[in-house]
Amino acid sequence: MTTKVDFIFKALDCSGVTITDFSRMTRISRESLYRWKDGANIADTLRLDIAYTTALRLEKACREGRLPLTEKLKTPQRIKVLRGIIAEMGRK
């Protein structure tokens, strides 16, 4: 795994965000994310950069105590809240 991929999955663990939710937020397929995790060659560096930037924001939200989410939300609501947190972390 590359350093960026390692960081992405550490941020997911810290934030409590599932690969499925991360896939929905970034519009990167779960299959691609699992292949990256398994060490496959990453041809699409733009998608990797999108995932890495999102992971940086998730990690920042963890440090600030915004994640993991404590309330149980249905998928559409959870994705909306997570996208809001990611956007907010980008403005800080």
User: pTM of the predicted model, to two decimals?
Assistant: 0.94
5 burial level (CB within 10 Å; 0-12, 13-18, 19+): buried
Q: Which domain covers residue 61, as residue numbers?
A: 3-91
Portion of the chain with pLDDT greater than 90, in percent: 96
Which pLDDT score, from 0 to 100, does residue 92 have?
81
**Digit-coded pLDDT (tens) for 58-76:** 999 999 999 999 999 999 9
Our count of domains for the chain comes to 1
Which pLDDT score, from 0 to 100, does residue 27 have?
96
**Digit-coded pLDDT (tens) for 13-45:** 999 999 999 999 999 999 999 999 999 999 999
Helices (H), 1-92: 3-15, 19-26, 30-37, 45-63, 75-91
